[in-house]
Amino acid sequence: MNITVIGRGRLGGGLAGLWRTAGHHVTELGRQGGDASAADVIVVAVPGPAIGEALDGVAGLAGQVTIDATNVYGPRATDHLSLSHQIKSVVGGPTAKAFSTNFAALYGEVAAQRTRPDNLYAADLGAREAAERLSLDAGYDPLYIGDLDPGARILEDGSKLTRAIAAQIGPHFYRYASPGRL
């Protein structure tokens, strides 16, 4: 896939490295912006309050499949139902929220785990295939929690649980199991 990652910090830069290793062509855009017109998939990995400014600086956003990996810390900076909905209102394509419940600090350790960690995601139908492919190619098992509406908001509100667990055990993986899956 031809992927443009907007935000090249811990999360965006980390995923870009994993996806290159898996054979994808990845362009990372930072604060200076750039052109995403060649992208099959857009990935947004900037701080929540910077989403508007970051997308304003990128040309060629025109209905591509989009993966939103952002999280909410503190008060919401948008009137949209979720940050994913804010991003979708600009890019216009089918959108998924994914990677927001995993820790970039552990990307280097994913492949060494006994079982693949899960990656919770919510998505429009048209973004499911990309979210699943890119989860697998980063070393995670994708775990669908439902449509973008209201799944993205559920994931964003759930980041408080992720942080509460991290306060006890630090950056962590997780894996949900029906009987027989563990």
Ligand X SMILES: NC(=O)c1ccc[n+]([C@@H]2O[C@H](COP(=O)([O-])OP(=O)(O)OC[C@H]3O[C@@H](n4cnc5c(N)ncnc54)[C@H](OP(=O)(O)O)[C@@H]3O)[C@@H](O)[C@H]2O)c1
Binds ligand X by CB under 6 A, chosen from 12, 93, 142, 151: 12
Which region, judged by CB under 6 A, interacts with ligand X, from 15-23, 39-47, 114-122, 127-135?
Answer: 39-47
Least Cα distance to 55 among 38, 65, 43, 40 occurs for: 43
- How many residues at the interface with ligand X, by CB under 6 A? 23
Q: Does 36 bind ligand X (CB under 6 A)?
A: no
For residues 108-167, which are near ligand X according to CB under 6 A? none
Q: Does 25 bind ligand X (CB under 6 A)?
A: no
Token pair, residue 87, equals 């991003």
Q: Tell me how far apart the alpha carbons of residues 101 and 126 are, in angstroms, rounded to a whole number.
A: 21
DSSP state of 116: P
> DSSP assignment, residue 1?
-
Residue pair 52/76 in contact (Cβ under 8 Å)? The answer is no
* φ/ψ (deg, to 5) at 105: -60, -15
Q: Which residue in the set 22, 27, 34, 50 belongs to the binding site for ligand X (CB under 6 A)?
A: 50
Q: How far is the CB of 112 from ligand X (least distance, A)?
A: 18
Nearest approach in angstroms of CB 46 to ligand X is 4
Q: Which of 104, 110, 143, 154 binds ligand X (CB under 6 A)?
A: 104
Instruction: Establish if 90 lies at the interface with ligand X (CB under 6 A).
Output: no
List 16, 39, 54, 123, residue binding ligand X (CB under 6 A):
54
CB of 12 to ligand X, least distance (A): 6
Interatomic CA distance for residues 36 and 15, integer angstroms: 17
| Measured distance CA(71)–CA(10) in Å, rounded | 13
Distance of CA 166 to the CA centre of its chain: 19
On whether the CB atoms of residues 7 and 34 are closer than 8 A, the answer is no
Per CB under 6 A, residues contacting ligand X are 7-12, 30-31, 45-48, 50, 53-54, 57, 69-71, 100, 103-105
